[in-house]
């Protein structure tokens, strides 16, 4: 069965420091991978997605993610975090037509000054 | 203009009541979804409609009934509310319903059942 694991429940990063949020997936075929961000009191917004091709994907707000098939991972990175990046981050996997996205349990990012 | 809107934003009600949450999208998308986010922020699909037809119906109690009067609207009606229904409910839409599509989310409706 498809599943997504985000091992880190809560991460605190200093403003200006780099960030990496981990995501591991379980899926038998080629997965389609997504990162969404949820700001406090808001709905989810897509940061980036990966379907095929270049394994390094660029997204909005300066985020990028790298797909590593050998590690079943799709980690999200940002070189320099801003206070406005404090939010909940969700990794999701989809793989078959007619099926829904499967979301991980999310990682809460706090940014300290 | 808001792309995906939901009303109400907050809903507080007693156990046993019946309530509805409305969702509208002005993106011209064919597919709409309802998700439930529990107190631990776990997000799970409930229903999906494509051009007013139900295409995804996860294991959800029969007390939950989605209704799509047209492809721009997907409402969620909940009968006989229970404490465990307390959650944030998100509506979303996408262009075609393919899992590769970007899904656009509404701001959520926080339901509290007392």
Whether residue B51 has pLDDT greater than 80: yes
| Lookup result for tokens 């809560």 | A10
A32 and B CB contact within 8 Å:
yes
What would the pLDDT profile of A48-85 be if each residue is shown by its tens digit? 999 888 899 999 999 999 999 999 999 999 999 999 99
Residues of A in contact with B41 (CB under 8 A): 38, 88, 105-106, 108
Distance separating alpha carbons of residues A2 and A28, to the nearest angstrom: 8
User: Which of B27, B43, B9 is CA-nearest to residue B101?
Assistant: B27
Sheet with B64-70: strands ordered across: B4-7, B19-25, B73-78, B64-70
User: Which of A1, A25, A17 is CA-nearest to residue A104?
Assistant: A25
Q: E strands along chain B, which residues?
A: 4-7, 10-13, 19-25, 31-37, 43-50, 53-57, 64-70, 73-78, 87-94, 104-105, 109-113
| pLDDT average, residue stretch B30-48 | 90
Residues of A in contact with B100 (CB under 8 A): 32, 49, 51, 94
What does the pLDDT read at residue A80? 97
A53 and B CB contact within 8 Å:
no
Share of chain B above pLDDT 90, in %: 68
| pLDDT average, residue stretch A27-41 | 86
């Amino acid at each position: 069965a498809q599943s997504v694991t985000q091992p880190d429940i809560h991460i605190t990063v200093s403003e200006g420091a780099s960030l990496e949020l981990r995501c591991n997936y379980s899926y038998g075929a080629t997965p389609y991978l997504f990162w969404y961000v949820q700001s406090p009191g808001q709905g989810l917004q897509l940061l980036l997605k990966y379907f095929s091709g270049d394994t390094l994907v660029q997204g909005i707000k300066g985020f990028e993610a790298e797909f590593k098939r050998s590690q079943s991972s799709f980690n999200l990175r940002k070189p320099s975090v801003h206070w406005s990046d404090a939010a909940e981050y969700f990794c999701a996997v989809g793989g078959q037509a007619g099926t829904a996205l499967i979301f991980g349990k999310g990682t809460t990012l706090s940014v300290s000054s | 203009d808001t792309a995906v809107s939901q009303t109400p934003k907050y809903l507080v009600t007693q156990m046993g009541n019946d309530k509805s949450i409305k969702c509208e999208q002005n993106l011209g998308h064919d597919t709409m979804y309802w998700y439930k986010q529990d107190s631990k922020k776990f997000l799970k699909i409930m229903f999906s409609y494509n051009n007013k037809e139900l295409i995804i119906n996860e294991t959800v109690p029969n007390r939950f009934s989605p209704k799509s009067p047209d492809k721009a609207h997907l409402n969620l009606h909940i009968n006989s509310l229970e404490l465990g229904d307390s959650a944030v409910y998100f509506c979303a839409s996408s262009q075609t319903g393919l899992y590769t599509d970007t899904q656009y989310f509404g701001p959520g409706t926080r339901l509290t059942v007392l």
